[in-house]
Amino acid sequence: MIIYVVLALVGLLVYLKQKKNSRDDFSSLASYYGDHCWTAEDEVFDSEVHPFKIEIESAQLDDFRTRIENTRFSMPSLKDTGFTYGVNSEFMQDVVKYWRDSFDWRKQEEELNRFPNFKTKIEGLDIHFVHVKPVSSKNQAKPLMMVHGWPGSFYEFYKIIPMLTNPTLHGGNETDAFEVIVPSIPGFGFSQSAEVKGLGSLHCARIFHKLMLRLGHKEYYLQGGDFGSYITTHLSRLYPNAVKGLHLNFNTTSFPPLLILKILVGSFAPSLFFDKETANKLYPLKSMVLEQLLETGYSHIQATKPDTIGYSLSDSPVGLAAYILEKFSTATDPNGREKNDGDILKYWNYDELLTNIMIYWWNGNITSTMRLYKESLADHAPTSNIKVRVPVGYASMPNELGPCIRGQLEATYKRLLSFTRISEGGHFAAFQVPHLLVEDIRNFVRLAENEKARQSFREAECRQQFKQTHLDRVSQ
């Protein structure tokens, strides 16, 4: 009963707030346009794009090996707990053994350099990005920026990039060719971290728009998951004339008041209000709410005191790995919590998992990545009532964090062209099920292109009718 009362009160508060601010208030976004500098010193203007090769110094490798050799393991996990208390000790010992004896960083370094890497300075920060043009295309390639989240990286997209840039792979055709740009969020990967406070997801959106303009793209498509969903959604709010379409695989919206009421009433007869799959995610409400509380403690820490935990994660590669790998288990398949390996190895091998972790380790920026949670809290207030009016497609993963209902999305994304229930996959969709995600991206972009063509046709018809009416009046 307490759950129902809390949800009802939340719904009422949201409703009253939305009623008070029923129209989009773009004036609240004024401070997010323009130029900023995120370093302690004034920005040195440099608009050049420089090739970048990932090369870790031997001294860093030696230091890493020493730390791995001197690992001090945590106490053994309790019997039959799997990942329910956090990452399992037996699994971590296997990870460290492979990391120490079999993992070849130089080989993975070659893999990361397989696609062209670049850096360019924007708002005082060196922004790293991967830029891959299509293999060949009879038609003009569509620019597509893909944005990762936490605790992922640009490496998440290495499986899907070939499918997007080579339209003959996995059932595509010549019209499906994309020019793919994958930036590292400021403070993530090989992008420079801010030296002053305030850089949240809205500011990241502005930086990435400047990146696309620098690459010569005044119009482009977007795709994002996790923080990438927030950043690309903000991009669509700030620059709707530039964004041709937005594809997401993570829900950034809250439940609108009427939907909250529907969920509350529907708990007594779910089948009357929701399809079976949606009902299974929502009910019982107590389980749904408790699941969110169980798996979101880390976000509260990172949104309040990220620097404190950053000390331990920056000092121990095994501590860093444990913290990240636990998320790859629970955010991919909640049933994996019962197993000693968290079911992680069902979807990825050690090399893939450790390469993502090493990107955090080499750059020593786990603290700056967690700060994004704290900085982005300020972004919610000025955007909560602003609708997204560009074409949107959504890929609903069965094991994504939290439920997502089409009506929930439609309250914010006013031109939701597609809502696809994907057969498998979780939070790290591009990394786990790239073949399914690429199919949905292609289908969405086709819908967006067709809608644009129809709109252009209607506009041409209107212009012709106006012209004809004007001529008729003149002739009379």
Please identify every residue annotated as catalytic: 226, 373, 427
Per the CB < 8 A criterion, the answer to whether 327 and 149 are in contact is no
Gap between the Cα atoms of 4 and 283, Å rounded: 12
Secondary element (H or E) of residue 114: none
Gap between the Cα atoms of 279 and 270, Å rounded: 6
Gap between the Cα atoms of 429 and 74, Å rounded: 31
Structure-token pair, residue 52: 């970048």
Cβ atoms < 10 Å from Cβ of 166: 18
User: Cis (ω within 30 of 0) for the bond into 270?
Assistant: no
Q: Which residues contact 222 (CB under 8 A, 6 or more apart)?
A: 144, 145, 146, 147, 232, 235, 236, 243, 245, 246, 247
Gap between the Cα atoms of 326 and 99, Å rounded: 17
Residues in the chain: 476
Per the CB < 8 A criterion, the answer to whether 271 and 417 are in contact is no
